[in-house]
Every structure is written in structure tokens, then in C-alpha cells.
Structure 1
Amino acid sequence: MYGVESNLELALAFGVTTELDMFMGPPEATRALCELAAERADLADLRSAGLLASAPGGHPGVGMPDLPTVAGPEQADAFVAARQAEGAHFIKIMLDDGVNHGMSLPSLAPATVTALADAARRRSLLSVAHVSAMWSARLALDSGVDILTHLPLEAPLDEAFVRRAADGGRVVIPTLAILELSAPQSSPATGVGRSWADDPRIADHLPDHARAAIAEGREGLCVEHPVPEHRFGHALSSVARLHRAGVPVLAGTDANHRPGRACPVVHGASLHAELALLVEAGLTPAQALTAATSAPAAHFGLGDRGVIAPGRRADLVLVAGDPTEDITATRSIEAVWRGGVRFDREAHRKRVAS
């Protein structure tokens, strides 16, 4: 995420009380923002991977020369130890050869990915892999990574992959909201994700920069280097297969808006698009709600939240309507509480409108 307080405030305004960030730096700023978010009831709480693991000269380090990299398996343990010392809550592993960005870049070797996952496990940290294509999804599975983020767009995951993921206890965060924007405009898409910002229940709380970001996505500016075989429908099919096989599917959007970002996804608001897309993929509304609440809390070790029960954090969202019947009812937010403190949504709406 782009580490600014306003993103955490925007997330909370849309009912997201905790954000799980997959890459942010520098470490001092990440730690400071996490500490601030822990203290302030007007911001979403924050957990972060901090700096991610990538190959020298690979994505995204090719444009970030100061980013630490991992040249081989012998460096994996030291990398994970350094991230833990900086306060990382989990370890993010980048598996991307740059093809989706119009480049050909080096990526982490299989032995290095395995060593990173093993090093994280020894320190009781989850490993989370960015998978951009079928090869990287298979590599993450082969290497023992705990959680996969994103899904391939060139083809649906096959049944053998899905069975292995289920048998291995893996977890998938498909991030359909950004995948729909990342597929070529000619790709069959539901339109569910593309139309969500027109809903006045969303639009009234969007600041100008968020509206501009959404417009960029609709104009196809997310697809800088179209890949002909990429189809959003492939991702929907993969989610359906994973869900049927019992693989935990978590709601996440890759919210990342920052100036100049090629494919911006707005904090908080985009989760409501993700929920609708999960239902489009075959989850029931109640299952989609679980994917955004108790399931991520359980799989990321946040045992103090995620369900409404005595002794748990009072992170609550009150909506008009029944989202177990109509998932878009999550947009009809009446009130949000974070740690028992009510967030002033009306004041937020007036600020973004001024």
C-alpha cells in the first residue's frame, strides 16, 4: 500500500477495520504507521509484510534500487530474520518475471523460494507469495508457501492444482477486483467490479483522487501491456474450483492507490466490489462475508477479532439490509466501530465533498 494515514481512514470509512498490507517501506515508516494505526480509533488497524523478497534485478526492485533482494537460498534465512527484526507480521515473496509489465525480468529460483518459506516457518511467520502466472502459482505450491495472492489470467487453475492446494492446506487471496481491471478490455468480464463506484452508497464517500483512479481503471489504463490470452473469466473459474475443493478463499483487493500507479485500487471501497465478485464466482453472500471477516482473522492469526463474540474486539459494521441475502447491502453502511469507538462517517463524507 501507499503508506499514508488517509488510506487507513478511507478503509475504515467503508467498514474495513483491519488492513493486511503486502509490501511497504521504508521499514521505519512502516513500523511508525503500524504503531499509529494501533493507537488511533479513526484509522483501520494495520499489519504489514514490510519489504518483500525478490530477485536481484527483478520485479519490483528493478525500479527500486535500494530494495533488499535475495540472490540465492543461502541468503533466505538472513532476509527473513531482518524482516522480522523490522517488525514484519508475515513474509511476502514476489514471483513475477515481468511479462505482465512488458518486460523480461529474473525471478526467484525454486530453491530460494523454498528456503524463504522454510525460514519464515521456523520463525512462526506466514509466507505469502505474489503469483502472476501459472508457472508462479505452481512454484508457490511446490515450495511450501502458505498463502497465494492473485490468480493466473492465462488459464483457470486445473483440478490437479486445486486438489494439491486443498490437500496441502493452502490459502488463496484471489484479488478479483484488481484482476478484472488488469485483464484486456476485450476480456469477458461480469461488470460487477467495474460498476461498483457508480453506486451512491460508495460514491458519496470517495475523495477526488479516488474518483480519478477509478476513471483510469475504466479507461483501460491498468492494462499497459495486454496479453491476448488473459481472460478475467479464467480467474472466476479458478475461484469456483478452489471454493468447491475446500481451499480457503479470502477477500482482498490489492488496494494500492498512490500517485502514478498504473492500476489503482481504492482502499476500503474496493472490498465491496471484491465481495460482489466472489459471489459472482460462486460463493454465497454469507461465504463471501466469511472471506472478509472470520477467515482472514483465523488464517493470519488475529484471534482477537473477526467474529462478534464476548471478549473479542468490538470491530463492527452496521448496515441497512441483509448482506447474507444481497451482498451489495454491505455498501449501505449505517455505522462503523473500531475497538468500540464509533467512526464519524458523516464528518468523513463532508470532508471528501469539500
Structure 2
Amino acid sequence: MQRLRYRHLTAALAATFLAASPASAETLYIEAGRLIDGVSNEVRTGQCITIKDERFAAVSACGATPAGASRVDWSAFTVLPGLIDLHTHLADLGQSADLAAPMKASPAETALVGARNARVTLDAGFTAVRDVGTYRGLTDVALRNAIERGDVPGPRMWVAGAYITIPKGGGELNGVVPNEQLPPDMRLGVAATPEEAAAKTTYLLDHGADFIKTIATGAVLAIGTEPGAPELTEEQLRAVVKVAHARGKKVTAHAHGAIGIQNAINAGVDSIEHASLADEATLQLAKKRGTWLVMDIYNGTYIDEEGTKEGWPEEYLRKNRETTDTQREAFRRAVELGINIGYGTDAGVYPHGLNGRQFRNMVKYGMTPMQAIQSATGRAAVEMGREDIGAIVPGRFADLIAVKADPLADIAALEKIDHVMKGGTLVR
């Protein structure tokens, strides 16, 4: 049965890749109906974008098509930078009621599933992602490399390689077999001491990780851990940060509970994932330190609705109920305080390609539509430390989306993208 599943998956992916062969690179002159550049609050009309050698060359008032360029008429569309999701899990099987699913799939099958996930994510208008960990260590590195070589279609990926987590913590596959019997590639980041945490950080960076993902508290979707309970200590987190920052790499922390969030911020991490139970003091600390928050405030709805239908473990559903509303109110307060907030969905818990569903919640819980857009474009690029994506300005990669509806009037327009371009190549 497993072999048949693998053959069907491989055939489906081959068909996808053949259908997605990119057009040859050329100079393009794109006429935008309305232009949102990802960094300013201005909406411009009558603008044309020149693209050359995969990057934006100019943005100016429309005129005659430059010699040698092809004109693209998007005058009926709102044109924006390609979207960025700061919290995805492309190189993984996705959440289900089967706790053992990640172990049943080989690294090769996991990578193939990741390729499918990458394609649908790109189709959804997300031209870049920060992929924040996989149970099968380093499959995300392999997927990123395959996309960069042009072997498979997908967004630009920045990957963590594996989770830095305590034994039996929120980054482990608990409840399947004794953790010591898990395959070695599923425990690449397990660390019990600051010294081990530093060594595992070095290992992941040496093997292709772009940044480091730490597990500072228990998790909603991990057996035997509680979201409010601290896991990695401040000393362990500090050891990770020291190694990563010395090599110019950022560190993010999965952290739901206030104490774990504070430990991570005090240790010097660059961003916090989830922040579900952040209290006022914790949010004030994040504001003071300039720490970014990436809060998946659509995710709880999907877990409650679909997880209940599919029979996910009751422990998961209970912890989700205990964190969803609290997280959304913490998000609202974070917006009021002006804390740095980036767009991150936890796609992989819910199906890839639905990444745009979170925009509506971000507006519902306090952001303006423009703030929500910038959290997934220019602001997300700042969080990642990238100056080559996230905005329609000369010199950056020519990643674009186009939608017929006006997302400033109805942010849900970003749930269905009409056109996608990555590096000047039309995806659809």
C-alpha cells in the first residue's frame, strides 16, 4: 500500500512539474491598474514596472513599451509584491489523526510531498516562505535546494533544518514509540543541556539551515506537552543564540506561554512564534526589545473544525481551545502597542495553499488592510533580514501577484490570486 501511494504521488508530481515549466526570461513592462508596493501606504495608478534579469529595474509612470520589452497588461488588476509566509512546514506530511504518519513516510517521500506543497503555496501567491521545521531533519534543506536549482517549482525558502528541543519536548514526535527509538534524522535537534543546544545549532547550520528554530514551551500539537510550560531554558536558548548570531543567522522560538516567551526574549531570540498566552508584561517586553511576533491567528479555527471531524487527539483539541481566543486577544493588544508583527500561518497544520485565509483575521483583530498586506510583504522581509524580496522597488526580485478585486476594500481578495510571478517568470 505504501509503495502504491508512493507511485501515485510521483506520477502526480511529474504531471505538475511538466505543467509548470516556466517561460524563458525576458524584459517585461507590466502595466498595473493599482500598485501597492509593500513598503509605503500609497496606492498608485498609472504605473508601469520594468523587469529585467529577474529583478525590478524601474517603477514609473506608464509610457511607450521600451525597445526589446514585452508589455503585460495588468491594468484591470491590483498589483502587489509576492506574499511571504513566515511560518510554514512545507517539507512535512501535514497534520492528521495518525500520530505515526511522519515516521511512516521515508525522507524521500517526505521531500516529494514537500514538492507538492511548494507548488500549491506558490500558486497561492506566496513567493517566499520561512519554513520553520520538519520532523524529518534536513528534508527542508533538500527541498529548498531543489527549488533553487529549478528542479521543482516553489517559493523561495529559508529553512530551519530541524527543531532545537528538549527530549520529549514540543519539537519531538511523542506518543508513537519510545523517543530513543525514533529514527536519527527525527532527533537532530534534541538537546538536554546548553552545550548540546550549541552543538546541535552548529550541526544544523553546517548542514544548510538558514536560521534556527527553538522550542521554548510545550506545543498544542505534541503529545505530553503543555503550551504554557517552559521547555528550553533561558541558558539553553542563550547558547543557541550565541552560536547562530556569531554566524549572522537569526533565531526564532516556538513559545506559547508567557514565561517561555520571556525566556526566549531575554536570551536574545529575534522572533517568537505563536505567542498565544502572552500577557501584558510579556508584550511590553517584546515591544521594548524590538522582538518580532509571528502569530497564527487563523489556525485555531481550522484545528477546532477539521480536527474534530477527523478525530485528532482530544489532547490537541483541548489545548487548541485553551489558546485560540487568548492568542487573538494578545494579537489585538500587540497591534495596539505597535509591536513588530510578521505574517505567519503554520500552514501544514492546515492545507498548504490556503495561506491567505489569515488576512481576514488580522484585520478582524485590529490591523488595517494595508498593515496586514505589509506584514506579508515589506515587513516580513525586514523580519527575515532580506533586502531582496517583499517590495516593488528597483533591485529586488521581481516577485508579483495580481488580483482583480481591491484588497484594501476586501482583504479576502488575497485568498484567491489571479496571477503570480516569481523572478520575472509568470507562474500563472
TM-score by length of 1: 0.78
Question: What secondary structure sits across from 1:230 in the alignment?
Answer: helix
Write the distance in 2 (CA, Å) between the matches of 1:283 and 1:161.
20
Runs ≥4 residues deviating over 6 A = none
Tell me if 1:50 matches 2:161: yes
Amino acid at match of 1:163: Q
Higher Rg: 2
Q: Secondary structure at the match of 1:176?
A: coil
Aligned to 2:371: 287
CA displacement 1:289-346 (0-9 Å, x = unmatched): 00111111111122111000122111100001211221011134221001111113xx
1:252-282 CA distance string (max 9 Å, x none): 11112xxxxxxx312231x211111111110
Deviation of 1:243 after TM superposition, in Å, equals: 1.5
- How far the C-alpha of 1:73 sits from its partner, in A, is 1.2
1:104–1:169 Cα change, 3 Å: closer
Distance in 2 (alpha carbons) for counterparts of 1:246 and 1:78: 36
Name the residue aligned to 1:122. Answer: 246
User: Contact between 1:320 and 1:332, CA under 8 Å: does it hold in 2?
Assistant: no
Give the Cα–Cα distance (whole angstroms) in 2 for the partners of residues 309 and 102 of structure 1: 46
Q: In the aligned structure 2, how far is the partner of 1:149 from the partner of 1:291?
A: 14
Residue matched to 2:404: 320
Distance 1:228 1:27, change over 3 A: closer
- CA deviations 1:70-98 (Å, max 9, x no partner) are 12112233222111111111100012336
Kindly indicate whether the alpha-carbon contact (under 8 Å) linking 2:287 and 2:337 is maintained by their aligned counterparts in 1. yes
Name the SS for the 2:420 alignment partner: strand
User: CA distance change for structure 1 residues 117 and 276 in 2, over 3 Å: closer, same or farther?
Assistant: same
What is the Cα deviation at residue 222 of structure 1?
5.0
Superposition pairs for residues 242-321 of structure 1, below 5 Å?
242-256=334-348, 264-269=349-354, 271-321=355-405
User: Is 1:93 paired with 2:185?
Assistant: no
Deviation, 1:180, is 3.2
Q: Is the 8 A contact 1:53 1:92 kept in 2?
A: yes
Unaligned stretches of 5+ in structure 1? 186-193, 195-215, 257-263, 345-354
Relative distance call for 1:22 and 1:99 in structure 2 (3 A) is closer
Q: CA RMSD in A?
A: 2.4
Alpha-carbon deviation of 1:229? 7.2
- Across the two proteins, how many residue pairs are aligned to each other? 302
Percent of aligned pairs with the same amino acid: 26
Partner of 2:283: 162
Give the one of 219, 222, 233 matched to 2:309: 219
After TM superposition, list the pairs within 5 Å mapping 1:55-70 onto structure 2. 55-63=166-174, 65=182, 66=184, 67-68=187-188, 69-70=190-191
State TM-score, norm by structure 2. 0.65
| Residue in structure 2 matched with residue 13 of structure 1 by the alignment | 123
Larger deviation: 109-118 or 316-325?
A: 109-118
Tell me the amino acid that sits aligned with residue 268 of structure 1: G
Q: Which runs of 5+ in 2 are unaligned?
A: 1-88, 93-110
Q: Which of the pair has the greater relative contact order for Cα pairs under 8 Å at 6+ separation?
A: 2
Shift of 1:102: 5.0
Q: Of Structure 1 and Structure 2, which has the larger fraction of its residues in strand?
A: 2
SS at match of 2:158: strand
